[in-house]
């Protein structure tokens, strides 16, 4: 399974991960704020479509490693929070949220399915993402998903910011043709 995100024909960003355990456990790591805070962001529990949930990011709490936050992300040093709208909630298989961004909103879809005793997680980010933010999205999702998979497997994840920066550089080379097509 390719752990790198792919750019789909419509410009959406697509990731796949294989997670340990059963589908209900994987759903909890996406829908429950306390578990989600361990790999992405805390905030409210997702219970149904139509609700608005506060997402609260504290990147420094995602791994046990002490790191200096990169200058370009200094505004996130004390955390970031915003509201997301839940547009679809089909436990334990599918969650879709609208996530605000400087350019408008992005749709984030999580799909879960059971395969061979494990869980397949598919993540799709749709929306207008300019080049300067696209690489951050690629590196961010890759790093966050790796942290979730590590923690679900009982492993210590790599440091967030240095891992994010390494993936940022890798994606810069991997998707350079797509980046050239963006505004």
pLDDT in tens, 79-112: 999 999 999 999 999 999 998 876 677 999 999 9
CA end-to-end distance (rounded Å), the chain: 31
Q: Is the pLDDT of residue 58 over 80?
A: yes
**49-53, 100-104, 110-114, 179-183: least confidently modelled range:** 100-104
pLDDT of residue 181: 83
In a domain, 95, yes or no: yes
pLDDT interval class at 14 (50, 70, 90): very high
Asked if residue 23 belongs to a domain, the reply is yes
Say what the pLDDT of residue 129 is. Answer: 79
Q: Does the structure show a pLDDT above 90 at 40?
A: yes
Whether 88 and 126 have beta carbons less than 8 Å apart is answered as no
Q: Is residue 105 situated within a structural domain?
A: yes
Q: What is the mean pLDDT of residues 58-65?
A: 96
Closest C-alpha to 138, from 77, 179, 104, 100: 179
- Domain contains 170: yes
Please check whether residue 10 lies inside any domain of the structure.
yes
Our count of domains for the chain comes to 1
Torsion of CA 118, 135, 33, 151, to 10 degrees: 40
In-domain check, residue 135: yes
109-135 mean pLDDT: 91
Averaged over 36-44, what is the pLDDT?
97
Q: Is residue 1 part of a domain?
A: no
Rounded to the nearest integer, the mean pLDDT of the chain is 93
Domain that holds residue 145: 6-181
Residue 31 DSSP label: H
The pLDDT assigned to 155 comes to 97
CATH of the domain at 77: 3.30.530.20
Q: What is the pLDDT of residues 131-155, one digit of tens each?
A: 778 899 999 999 999 999 999 999 9
Strands 52-57 and 42-43: antiparallel
């Amino acid at each position: 399974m390719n752990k790198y995100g792919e750019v789909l024909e419509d410009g959406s960003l697509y990731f796949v991960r294989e997670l340990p355990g059963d589908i209900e456990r994987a759903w909890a790591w996406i829908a429950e704020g306390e578990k989600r805070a361990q790999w992405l962001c805390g905030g409210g529990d997702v219970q149904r479509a139509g609700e608005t949930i506060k997402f609260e990011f504290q990147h420094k709490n995602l791994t046990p490693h002490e790191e200096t936050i990169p200058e370009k992300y200094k505004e996130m040093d004390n955390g970031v929070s915003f509201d997301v709208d839940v547009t679809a909630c089909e436990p334990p298989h599918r969650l879709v949220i609208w996530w605000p961004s400087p350019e408008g909103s992005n749709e984030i879809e999580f799909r879960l399915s059971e395969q061979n005793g494990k869980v397949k997680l598919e993540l799709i980010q749709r929306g207008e993402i300019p080049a300067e933010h696209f690489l951050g999205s690629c590196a961010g999702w890759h790093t966050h998903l790796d942290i979730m998979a590590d923690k679900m497997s009982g492993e210590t994840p790599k440091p967030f910011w240095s891992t994010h920066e390494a993936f940022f550089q890798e994606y810069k080379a991997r998707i350079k043709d797509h980046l050239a097509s963006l505004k």
